[in-house]
Structure 1
Amino acid sequence: MKMIFIFIDGFGIGKPDASVNPLVNPELVNINYILNDAGAIPTDACLDVPGLPQSATGQTAIFTGQNASKVLSRHLHGQPTITLKKMIADGNLFKELVNRGFAVTNSNVYRTPYIDRIKDPKERKYRPSVTTVMTLSCGLNLRTVEEYIAGEGVYHDITGEILKNEGYVKELITPQEAAQRLYSLSRKYDFTLFEYFKTDIMGHKAEMDTAIENLKILDAFIGELLKLYDENGEIIFITSDHGNIEDLTVNTHTFNKVPTVILGKIPKNVEIKINSLTDIMPAILNIFDAKGEL
């Protein structure tokens, strides 16, 4: 079995009102499918801690199975602190899968100057994200622009627009081509991670037209993956760390639950119980630990 894990930042379950929630736009057929028809599980991101859910603690909860917000007694935005980094290094999804003998990879591509800066212990402005800390803590390399040019990785904006604007590449790729890259790469691994965080950026901008324009790219990307994967032997797992883009009446995160979507056949002897972000990692490990028929 192979699993593609798509982490979508700031992607909550909002009201079915297209005037405030761009996710319900009828043009976004694949996003509407995963939210409404694919058995999306409403997942708590508040974690019994007051205040708006935030990225650093939410993502740490997803990828460690621990309530990072309770550990800090608050929700933390941005990148993980020393305390969260230690939590991630001590036990994370990548490490647990590797220890079980599975091959894992982070498909996201990083620019070389960024890699150099986040590895510099004296650097204070640029700090690694949760998924970056997880990748490095397992001794895995971060994917480079050279690998992107060779088709061995996907940039976080899907089309590579940032890479083109900064002169790293000459042409954009289509969302469909990005999905094909991700799927092809996933053939070499048991678990493949892709992180998309423009949804959170668009949520903070709170501009409906801009949000829909970007969501169309994500929608086409997801649609192509749905065409490529084999639902009888592969799983696409989608979730988020907190709400944001589903309510453009505010430019902050929301208290809304996030969707956890599991596409494909779960092994028959596995019972999925997901109530909060801390349940996601155990659910994935249960799937990989399962013995028996699909």
Structure 2
Amino acid sequence: MRMIFIFIDGLGLGKEDKTVNPLYAAKAPNIHYILERFTVIPTDATLGVKGLPQSATGQTAIFTGENAPRILGRHLNGQPTETLKNIIYKNNLFMQLGKMGLRVTNSNVYSTEYLQKMVNPHDRRLRPSVTSVMTMVAGMGFRTVDDYRSGRGVYHDITGHMLIERGYDVERITPRQAAERLYSISRENDFTLYEHFMTDIIGHKMDMELAIKEIELLDEFLGELAGLVDLNEDIIFITSDHGNIEDISVKTHTYNKVPTIIMGNMHRGLGVKIESLMDITPAVTGIFKEIMNNG
């Protein structure tokens, strides 16, 4: 079994109201099919801590299984602090899967500037994201712009247009081509992570037109990927860290639960239990353990 894990930043389960929720204003047949056809678990992102859920603590909880906001004493946006990094250093999903003997990869492409700033101890303008810290501590290589050019990586915006806007001489690809790239990468690994955070950025803009375009792009990407993957053999696992884009009437994040979506048949009968973000890492490792133990 192979698993493709798609982390979508800032995607909650909102009202079926097309005046505020672009998931219902957009033409998104693939997303709605996924929501109706597969296991969708409303997942708590507040973790018993007052305040709106935020990215740094939410993502740390997702990828370590620890109650990061409770440890920190608050929800924290942006990138992880030293306290959160220490949690990730000690234990994270990449490390756990690696110890199980599984082949693990991060499919995201990183710009040259990001990689340079991330390892520069004197440049404090950029703090690496949770998934970047995970990738580093697990000893995994980062996919570069050269990997993007050769079709061996996907940029966080799906199409790569942001690389072009930043001056890189690269091809803009379609959402379908991005899905094909992700699928190809996943054939060489047991666990493949892809992170997409334009949903959160656009959600903060409170712009329905932009939000609809984003959802329709994501819909095409997910639809193509679902068609490529044999869901009798493999799993597509989707989750988020907090709500946002599902309610463009507010500029902030939301208290809405987030969807944890498990596409495929391999997890059925394994007793997967997910209630909050802290249950994601145990659920993923548990699925792999059960399948490995049962041959």
Please report the TM-score for the alignment, with normalisation by the length of structure 2: 0.97
Asked if the contact 1:269/1:292 (under 8 Å) is kept, the reply is no
- Alignment of structure 1 residues 122-201 onto 2, 5 Å: 122-201=122-201
Taking the aligned partners of 2:11 and 2:269, their CA distance within structure 1 comes to 30
- 1:83 counterpart residue number: 83
Secondary structure of the structure 2 residue equivalent to 1:40: strand
Taking the aligned partners of 1:50 and 1:107, their CA distance within structure 2 comes to 34
Deviation at 1:121, TM superposition (A): 1.3
Question: 1:267–1:10: structure 2 CA closer, same or farther, 3 Å change rule?
Answer: closer
Taking the aligned partners of 2:269 and 2:17, their CA distance within structure 1 comes to 38
Question: 1:207–1:134: structure 2 CA closer, same or farther, 3 Å change rule?
Answer: same
1:164 counterpart letter in structure 2: I
Computed over aligned residues only, the root mean square deviation of the Cα atoms, in angstroms, reads 1.1
Asked if the contact 2:26/2:215 (under 8 Å) is kept, the reply is no
Gaps of 5+ in 1: none
- 1:292 counterpart residue number: 294
Q: Per-residue CA shift, 1:171-226, capped at 9, x if unaligned?
A: 31000000000000110100000000000011100100011011111110000001
Taking the aligned partners of 1:267 and 1:172, their CA distance within structure 2 comes to 35
- 2:6 counterpart residue number: 6
Taking the aligned partners of 2:294 and 2:64, their CA distance within structure 1 comes to 26
Deviation at 1:165, TM superposition (A): 1.4
- Alignment of structure 1 residues 211-226 onto 2, 5 Å: 211-226=211-226
Taking the aligned partners of 2:255 and 2:37, their CA distance within structure 1 comes to 23
Moved >4 Å (runs of 4+): none
Asked if the contact 2:45/2:257 (under 8 Å) is kept, the reply is yes
- 1:100 counterpart residue number: 100
Please report the TM-score for the alignment, with normalisation by the length of structure 1: 0.97
Q: Per-residue CA shift, 1:133-160, capped at 9, x if unaligned?
A: 0000011111100011010000000000
Taking the aligned partners of 2:258 and 2:268, their CA distance within structure 1 comes to 25
Taking the aligned partners of 1:267 and 1:155, their CA distance within structure 2 comes to 29
Deviation at 1:267, TM superposition (A): 4.3
Report how many residues are paired: 293
Asked if the contact 1:44/1:257 (under 8 Å) is kept, the reply is yes
Asked if the contact 1:267/1:292 (under 8 Å) is kept, the reply is no
Taking the aligned partners of 1:33 and 1:129, their CA distance within structure 2 comes to 31
Deviation at 1:268, TM superposition (A): 5.3
Secondary structure of the structure 2 residue equivalent to 1:122: coil
Taking the aligned partners of 1:266 and 1:83, their CA distance within structure 2 comes to 36
Gaps of 5+ in 2: none
Asked if the contact 2:11/2:200 (under 8 Å) is kept, the reply is yes
